Structure 1
Amino acid sequence: MDTYSNLPIGSSVRETYVVHSPSRDKQIGFVRKIGFESILSMKDFKMDKDLTLWLVDKFNCDTEELEFDGGISIPVRPLVKFVLGIPSGPIKVIEGLHVDDALYKQYTWDTRGKNAMEVAEEMCSITEEEPFCIAFMMAILAIYLAPNTSVNVSRSFLGAARQVGNLKQMDWCNLVADCLFKGIKDYKKSDRLFVHVKGCVHILSVIFIDLAKHPTLIVPDGFPRLSVVTTEMGCFTSKWVVAHPFGSFLPVRCLEESVYAPVRNNMPNGNTVEGVKCSDSQSNTDALADQFAITDTDQNNNKHPILAKLGNLLYISQLQRPVP
């Protein structure tokens, strides 16, 4: 099987970042406090390489839209907030901020950023809020939200990650979108035989499943979408990819006819989405709080060690151009 095909996402993320007793509840509390609890509620999802590369091809780097047959164009940037449920506050995430030598060296191995697996492993034993949150952010950025072509953390994010008190007020959604769009643009410009798509490509699959018209596909409402969309909902896509040429792919709904209709008016043409409270507010609405909640059942289902399936995460958001 291809390294990048059918890779499980949700269980790996939860097993990596949901920490077991006695420090487990305390660390989950830290994650909630900084506004990233939606990551812990992510449903299991298997990436399909062919579908994802097709979606990458459908993405217009100039308009930042997925362009489908029938003249339907879907803006991706304003949907990131509703897919991921992470903070999209008023503070811009700035890369390359100065940090002290001690912190920089803590995330350095030789002359490069430390391996993300090692950072996540060390995170599991941290019980103090600030160092735990820094480690969490560095690991989740490198592994899922803003991955590059390596498995190392990007130390350019350290200056932002260390501002633990402001993490919930930062615009992480725009950062994730920027990294994904740049990754797609670099991929399309490259004429190399082997080149990876950098960025959180999981977003594209979730959006497509939410919009696809198919008689057997029933997509429930609720936000964030990563806590709703599962492999079972999207399994038809891989079968369709095999059975149909991309020229006759599934039709899609416009946003007004989709699960995004209730929040459509909260998506301005600019770079930010206002009005709907996700994890960027001081307190979530009851409906969204329910979506983000981590139940006892969720916790009890995570019986494996924290790093049991971390290896799967390293390839979730990095797809490689197929060999002709």
Structure 2
Amino acid sequence: MEITNYKKREGQEILCTDISTKSNKKYKWQNSEYTRIFLEALSTLPESRKLIIRKLGFGSILTFSCFSNVQVIFEWLISQFDTTSATLSLEDGFNFTLCSHSTHMILGFPAGPKAVVRTESIECSDFIMNIVKTKSPTVEHLCSLLSTDLNEDSFTVIFMLLLLTAFIDPNASGVASPAYYPNLKDISSIPSLDWCSFTLDCLLRAIKKYLFRKKQNIELESGGCKILLVISYFEFLITSEFNLGNSVPRLPLWTTHVVNSYIALDSQQGHSKGFGRLVRKHITSTPFKGSKQQIEMPSEIKDYMELKFQKIALFQFSEFLEQFKEG
């Protein structure tokens, strides 16, 4: 049975449909709109509220200002992405595996020792409802609460609900999921949770769902933190137009202008591949150089480096012998 609900949000009609596996109905929604609403709400916060967010460990989101449409390049990337290993494998042999470390380098979110859980409980639902005053808090409703007179704990809960619903794991309805409520019951534990692994896991789940629906000829925008995958790829591209330095987290550096420019520079006009025009650098020249994954250099480069260093070592040794003789 198919259930369709229409909801009006800022003059935009959003069609939310519960689709059976045999249906070819299309979704009409854009979760990037929720991200925009969230980021714009954050930009208006007073410094005292921003300080709370920084104390939680999510300060990088306060200076993130990217409103680019990354759907096309995201679809190109996930067409070459293995969700089981979280590995991007391009046709030219380029490989990169996303992990908690690389996610932390980009987002700068806490990567604590405790896992973020997905479970629902009546107790936690009641706890959240007492703060947000509704069973189904939308992004718009939560943003409206940010400007009200809240104590620090209530503000923290609302901010985290927004971060989850509009950035970490955005969904079609723009409504906070009760499955994440237990993580917010103890405010003091939030910085000790592994939000990086959780964000990556949400992305992998969203990509799996998107690819499954695509096989069913169902058109929809993927959920998950798409900008995470896009930035991960962009960090490997070599271009003379930008020098983003080595500072971390990387998220604030990727503004609308920078992201749009990279999309344009890497696009292959009139080419079936779509993207992949720019040359890519080795992982040791990226912010991910501390990653545990091993990426092999091409054999010709490795041989050249070994020969080069061998010559340098021999030269330095001969100089030492000459100095020893003179002494």
Q: Does 1:235 align with 2:279?
A: no
User: Equivalent residues in 2 for 1:137-176 (5 A)?
Assistant: 137-176=160-199
Superposed counterparts of 1:299-310, under 5 Å: none
Contact 1:218 1:233 in 2 (8 A): no
Matched, 1:245 2:271: yes
Q: Which amino acid aligns with 2:283?
A: L
Which one of the candidate residues 292, 302, 316 is aligned to 1:268?
Answer: 292
The structure whose Rg is larger is 2
Out of 181, 184, 202, the residue aligned to residue 179 of structure 1 is 202
Change in Cα spacing, 1:227 to 1:8, as seen in structure 2 (3 Å) is farther
Q: 1:167, CA displacement in angstroms?
A: 0.6
- Paired AA for residue 238 in structure 1: I
Q: Structure 1 residues 254, 47: CA separation in 2 closer, same or farther (over 3 Å shift)?
A: farther
Alignment partner of 2:236 out of 205, 211, 214: 211
CA contact (8 A) 2:86 2:97 kept: yes
TM-score under structure 2 length normalisation? 0.70
CA contact (8 A) 1:38 1:85 kept: yes
Shift in Å at residue 260 of structure 1? 2.9
Out of 220, 224, 230, the residue aligned to residue 195 of structure 1 is 220
CA distance in 1, matches of 2:124, 2:262: 48
SS in 2 for 1:74: strand
CA contact (8 A) 2:105 2:287 kept: no
Instruction: Indicate yes or no: 2:155 matched with 1:127.
Output: no
| CA distance in structure 2 between the aligned counterparts of 1:258 and 1:35, rounded to whole angstroms | 23
Alignment size in residue pairs = 258
In structure 1, what is the Cα distance between the partners aligned to 2:236 and 2:286?
6
Q: 1:74 aligns with which of 96, 101, 126?
A: 96
**Equivalent of residue 56 in structure 2, options 26, 29, 34:** 34
Query: Match of 1:268, as an amino acid?
Result: K
Q: Could you report, residue by residue, the CA deviation over 1:172-207 in whole angstroms, capped at 9, with x for unpaired residues?
A: 111111110000011112214223311000111212
Per-residue Cα deviation, 1:141-168 (whole angstroms, up to 9, x for no partner):
1011111221101111111022210111
Q: CA deviation at 1:50?
A: 1.4
CA distance in 1, matches of 2:239, 2:270: 14
Q: Which has the higher contact order (CA 8 A, sep 6+)?
A: 1
Q: Report the Cα distance in structure 2 between the residues aligned to 1:6 and 1:113, rounded to whole angstroms.
A: 20
Give the match for residue 83 of structure 1.
106
Across the aligned residues of Structure 1 and Structure 2, the Cα RMSD in angstroms comes to 2.7
Q: Does 1:259 align with 2:282?
A: no
Q: Which amino acid aligns with 2:97?
A: P
Distance in 2, matches of 1:241 and 1:6, equals: 21
Cα distance change on mapping 1:101 and 1:36 into 2, 3 Å: closer
Give per-residue Cα distances to partners, 1:199-235, cap 9 Å, x unaligned: 0001112122211133434332211111112233333
TM-score, normalisation: structure 1: 0.71
Amino acid at match of 1:211: F
Structure 2, unmatched stretches of 5+, are 1-27, 294-327
Q: CA deviation at 1:101?
A: 5.5
SS of the residue corresponding to residue 66 of structure 1 reads strand
Letter in 2 for 1:185: K
Rounded to whole Å, the distance in 2 between the matches of 1:8 and 1:230 is 17
User: Given that residues 13 and 39 in structure 1 are in contact (C-alpha distance below 8 angstroms), is that contact kept between their aligned partners in structure 2?
Assistant: no
Contact 2:112 2:194 in 1 (8 A): yes
Q: Return the letter of the residue paired with 1:28.
A: K
Query: In 2, Cα distance between the equivalents of 1:180 and 1:18?
Result: 25
Superposed displacement of residue 19, structure 1: 4.4
The amino acid of 1:245's aligned partner reads: H
Distance in 1, matches of 2:31 and 2:164, equals 21
SS at match of 1:197: coil
Alpha-carbon distance change, 83 to 95 in structure 1, aligned in 2, over 3 angstroms: same
Q: Which residue type is aligned with residue 53 of structure 2?
A: V
Counterpart pick for 1:44 among 49, 66, 71 = 66
- Structure 1 residue 245: deviation in Å? 2.0
